[in-house]
Amino acid sequence: MNVADDSAPKGPLSGYRVLDLTTMVSGPISTMMLADQGADVIKVEPLRGETMRNAGIKHRGMSSSFLSCNRNKRSLAIDLKRPEGLDAVRRLLPSCDVVVQNFRPGAIERMGLGLEVARAARPDIIFVSISGFGEEGPYAGQRVYDPVIQALCGLADIQRDRDSGEPRMVRTIIPDKTTSVTAAQAITAALLHRERFGEGQHIKLAMLDTMVAYLWPESSSGLNYVGNEVDPARAQMGLDLIFKTLDGYITAATVADAEWRGFCRAVDRPDMLEDPRFASATQRSAHQTERRKFMSDAVSGYASADVIARLRTEDVPCAPVYTREQLMRDEQVLKNGIIEQHEHPVIGPVRQPRPAVRFEKTPANIRSLAPYLGEHNADILRDAGLSEADIAALAEAGVTAAETPGG
Amino acid sequence: MNVADDSAPKGPLSGYRVLDLTTMVSGPISTMMLADQGADVIKVEPLRGETMRNAGIKHRGMSSSFLSCNRNKRSLAIDLKRPEGLDAVRRLLPSCDVVVQNFRPGAIERMGLGLEVARAARPDIIFVSISGFGEEGPYAGQRVYDPVIQALCGLADIQRDRDSGEPRMVRTIIPDKTTSVTAAQAITAALLHRERFGEGQHIKLAMLDTMVAYLWPESSSGLNYVGNEVDPARAQMGLDLIFKTLDGYITAATVADAEWRGFCRAVDRPDMLEDPRFASATQRSAHQTERRKFMSDAVSGYASADVIARLRTEDVPCAPVYTREQLMRDEQVLKNGIIEQHEHPVIGPVRQPRPAVRFEKTPANIRSLAPYLGEHNADILRDAGLSEADIAALAEAGVTAAETPGG
């Protein structure tokens, strides 16, 4: 695994330790963002590994989804149901700045690692509880999957089919991922407060709350004015500007007059500049069905690369619709260096997107790929103050476990 | 406007000042998150107001979209093309901790408020540049709209229609919003670094980079292993578990055995427990089309509330598919207090979602609704050190402007 040079500039969260008890996606990506920015994230897993280790595609024993949610972390696989296991993790607490967990409400207390226990060990701890619906209320105890939140929060309503009126899901886990980024911001803000005022705190974040706040500004603008509501579906901007070309699909936007004129010139239809139906933004909006049909017909006679080049020359905002494989070969994606390739001694070459934020002084980066289960047991238990003999005894007694990389 | 009690606990970013030169969505929501957490955000706008003031639904002169992206901020409407206007804003810089801008690369330097100018006024400034594609490279100078990023980043590919194979947009501005939250986290991390080490920095964030990193973990897991790629569309989880009821739509998930058994009992089909096609998760996955049809048929004979109650009794993850109006009346949404009502002296009662994160010690909250254009000109110019006479002279000369609330 490639480890960064010690003298290199460090991420803005370097020096902080995070005890990561989360599973699945919303928690793990949140702590991965902290790890990308330099935090020492200790992922505590059950002996068989957390759920995502067994999800989806695997290669040399490493789940691809797990790989993308857990880089830059260390793994401790330990049985928290056995007193020696629980005790070892509790001995880590005094050195931790943050504890993050996303069990159902009440579970962490039953496990013996709740807020009170953490705070007793480290009075200024930042303790983070990520949940589906909040800690109290009618759904609080229910299991949550991403589509359940999509159904409740209005996202499936936004995606309603224009013709049939049927609601539709977004086919990627927007609520999970948005909760991750939101949690990472909150944890960073709490660290900042602690740095200034010496005070830790409990942070609670529900996926449902996150998604309502996230979607609201544009998708519920019809509901802002109490007593003057407008159907949000009507108030919503239409975005389905995808046009078929000879060899694929593109998108193009013609909001401003200059963009409309540029489009007409780009597709060799200067005659349309005279059409009164499209003479102003207001007119174009009033005749949007005709406008869409004209644009669609005009684009259909070109290959994607050809029409994109013409539109760019005229400064019309546009892009090809990429598959995920095409994306990797795009010249801007290559220029930005968005997708990095890392060499893993067991797995071989691995692609990962680098952290999006470019910090001038405190770069976030990929220092190590996701750990195999229990890969850092000994290191972490040493950090907890255990002796080599204690560490060996825990492994011998089956309180810790480690998989053989690639096995 | 409702202003919080001065003795009340303050947000984790209280005491920081942010000069907000952003427009549209990605920048404004990012600085709104900082404002929600207590930062003093000064929104600098051209004399006619930023673009979003004129977008979509309006009520008493306030755009609903603008309202939802700019609460807790102060507005200064000033002509930066006139030397007196530029000078006044420059005089604010020494008191600012953060400058955020999302113009096309190069524009902020031409305006006379670039990184070098900001850093000369305040050496430890955090200067943030949000862009569509990055600062350099083939698309850097292009105009960007949200659908352009959706097309490039793979989101439209993820949304491809299962039958026709046509790519589709998500009908809300995921790239804009995700960039906002990501930027807010980055700014907070940079403030934390400055608090610890006294050093400011430049942060660059491109929407394209943000979205590739955001989508990757689940939607591109097929591309992680170089040389062992799997079609990402095939590797992607299927999420379209929406079922029609007598009076609406619901979602329900039956991943675990217990959930499958619970489902069969909930819909009074215990006979299906014996069906070998559905006896294990592996079998259910192998027969997912038949399983989906069975679930769909079984649900279709119930009213939504009825079948949801039955599924919940059996601990099957489920939810009604809500419209955005229904969402507001949900008992969990009410219990969590997600949607607040605020009274504006001119606009009247206004709905807004409260900040999702619940900080125990440093609550984020809505202290004031979005400002009318130039509402805080005098306050802000006083903060810049201008005299009352100077402030009056600027208004008199048309270097500043203010709209009449409700006008």
Say which DSSP state B272 is in: G
Q: Which residues of A touch B196 (CB under 8 A)?
A: 15, 195
Mutate to test the interface with B, among A321, A331, A352, A369 (most CBs of B within 10 A): A321
Q: Which residue among B143, B226, B361 places its CB closest to the CB of A341?
A: B226
Average pLDDT over residues B170-196: 97
Q: State which amino acid sits at residue A3.
A: V
Average pLDDT over residues A65-83: 97
pLDDT digits (tens, 9 = 90+) for A154-169: 999 999 887 888 999 9
Tokens 């069905």 locate to A289
CA distance B96 to B41: 9
Mutate to test the interface with B, among A209, A282, A318, A322 (most CBs of B within 10 A): A209
3-state helix, strand, coil in chain A (%, to 5): 45, 15, 40
Share of chain B above pLDDT 90, in %: 85
Give the rounded distance of the alpha carbon of B182 from its chain centre.
9
Min distance A68 CA to chain B CA atoms (Å): 5
Q: What is the pLDDT of residue B19?
A: 98
B2 has a pLDDT exceeding 90: no
Q: Would you list the DSSP string of B217-268?
A: HHHTGGGSBTTS---HHHHSPP---EEE-SSSEEEE---SHHHHHHHHHHTT
Within 215-234 of B, beta carbons closer than 8 Å to A belong to 215-230, 232
A237 has a pLDDT exceeding 80: no
CB spacing of A235 vs B150 below 8 angstroms: no
B235 falls in which pLDDT band (50, 70, 90)? low
Average pLDDT over residues A206-220: 94
Mutate to test the interface with A, among B243, B321, B330, B334 (most CBs of A within 10 A): B321
Q: Read off the tokens for B400.
A: 């500043």
Average pLDDT over residues B304-328: 95
Contact between residue A47 and residue A80 where contact means Cβ atoms under 8 Å apart: no
Of A357, A249, A34, A122, give the one whose Cα is nearest residue B126.
A357
Alpha-carbon distances, residue B104 vs B134, B135, B193 (angstroms): 9, 8, 27
Q: Which residue among A65, A195, A218 places its CB closest to the CB of B196?
A: A195
B123 lies within 8 A of chain A by CB: no
Within 291-320 of A, beta carbons closer than 8 Å to B belong to 312, 315, 317-320
Tokens 């980079």 locate to B209
Q: Which residues of A touch B140 (CB under 8 A)?
A: 332
Say which DSSP state A3 is in: -
Strands B40-45 and B17-20: parallel
CA distance B397 to A131: 54
Q: Which residue among B148, B172, B195 places its CB closest to the CB of A319?
A: B148
Strands B126-131 and B98-101: parallel
Q: What is the pLDDT of residue A324?
A: 92
A5 has a pLDDT exceeding 80: no
DSSP-based three-state secondary structure for A374: coil
Closest chain B residue to A9 measured between Cα atoms?
Answer: B193
| Residue of A3 and A68 predicted with greater confidence | A68
Alpha-carbon distances, residue B389 vs B99, B280, B386 (angstroms): 27, 79, 8
Q: What is the pLDDT of residue B3?
A: 47
A236 falls in which pLDDT band (50, 70, 90)? low
CB spacing of A235 vs B64 below 8 angstroms: yes
A3 has a pLDDT exceeding 50: no
A25 lies within 8 A of chain B by CB: yes
Q: Which residues of A touch B230 (CB under 8 A)?
A: 57
Average pLDDT over residues A311-339: 95
Residues 6+ apart with CB under 8 A from B357: A182, A183, A185, A186, A189, A203, A204, A205, B364
Q: Which residues of A touch B223 (CB under 8 A)?
A: 324-325, 328, 351
Q: What is the pLDDT of residue A2?
A: 43
Q: Which residues of B touch A146 (CB under 8 A)?
A: 239
Min distance B143 CA to chain A CA atoms (Å): 6
Q: What is the pLDDT of residue A56?
A: 82
Say which DSSP state A372 is in: P
Q: What's the mean pLDDT when you consider all of chain B?
A: 94
Alpha-carbon distances, residue B267 vs A406, B3, B250, B277 (angstroms): 44, 51, 14, 18
Average pLDDT over residues A50-68: 92
B406 has a pLDDT exceeding 90: no
B33 falls in which pLDDT band (50, 70, 90)? very high
Within 249-278 of A, beta carbons closer than 8 Å to B belong to 249-251, 253, 255, 259
Closest chain A residue to B363 measured between Cα atoms?
Answer: A203
B237 has a pLDDT exceeding 70: no
Min distance B158 CA to chain A CA atoms (Å): 6
A134 lies within 8 A of chain B by CB: yes
B85 has a pLDDT exceeding 50: yes
CB spacing of B208 vs A320 below 8 angstroms: no
pLDDT digits (tens, 9 = 90+) for B243-265: 999 999 999 988 889 999 999 99
Average pLDDT over residues B344-368: 96
Which helix H or strand E contains A36, and what residues bound it? helix A26-36
Residues 6+ apart with CB under 8 A from A285: none
A210 lies within 8 A of chain B by CB: yes
Q: Which residues of A touch B150 (CB under 8 A)?
A: 239, 251
Q: Which residues of B touch A226 (CB under 8 A)?
A: 341, 348-351
ipTM of the modeled complex: 0.96
| Residue of A241 and A177 predicted with greater confidence | A177
B185 has a pLDDT exceeding 60: yes
CA distance A323 to B160: 10
Q: Read off the tokens for B172.
A: 């809300």
Min distance B348 CA to chain A CA atoms (Å): 8
Say which DSSP state A368 is in: S
A384 falls in which pLDDT band (50, 70, 90)? very high
Q: State which amino acid sits at residue A145.
A: Y
A4 has a pLDDT exceeding 60: no
Share of chain B above pLDDT 70, in %: 97
Q: Would you list the DSSP string of B96-123?
A: -SEEEE-SSTTHHHHHT-SHHHHHHH-T
Contact between residue A316 and residue B192 where contact means Cβ atoms under 8 Å apart: no
Contact between residue A405 and residue A371 where contact means Cβ atoms under 8 Å apart: no
What pTM was estimated for this model as a whole?
0.96
Of A228, A210, A230, give the one whose Cα is nearest residue A220.
A230
A270 has a pLDDT exceeding 50: yes
A357 falls in which pLDDT band (50, 70, 90)? very high
Mutate to test the interface with A, among B224, B230, B296, B343 (most CBs of A within 10 A): B224
Closest chain A residue to B182 measured between Cα atoms?
Answer: A181
A189 has a pLDDT exceeding 80: yes
A47 has a pLDDT exceeding 90: yes
A393 lies within 8 A of chain B by CB: no
Q: State which amino acid sits at residue B309.
A: A
B132 has a pLDDT exceeding 80: yes
Beta carbon pairs, A and B, within 8 Å: 492
Alpha-carbon Rg of chain B, whole angstroms?
26
Q: Which residues of A touch B213 (CB under 8 A)?
A: 338, 353-356
A288 has a pLDDT exceeding 90: no
Of B305, B299, B322, B286, give the one whose Cα is nearest residue B252.
B299
Closest chain A residue to B146 measured between Cα atoms?
Answer: A239
Mutate to test the interface with B, among A185, A208, A263, A369 (most CBs of B within 10 A): A185
Q: What is the dihedral of CA B323, B326, B327, B330, to 10 degrees?
A: -150
Q: Read off the tokens for B204.
A: 């660059």
Tokens 């059996």 locate to B314
A303 has a pLDDT exceeding 90: yes
Q: Which residues of B touch A158 (CB under 8 A)?
A: 170-172, 324
Q: What is the pLDDT of residue A254?
A: 87
Q: What is the pLDDT of residue A1?
A: 39
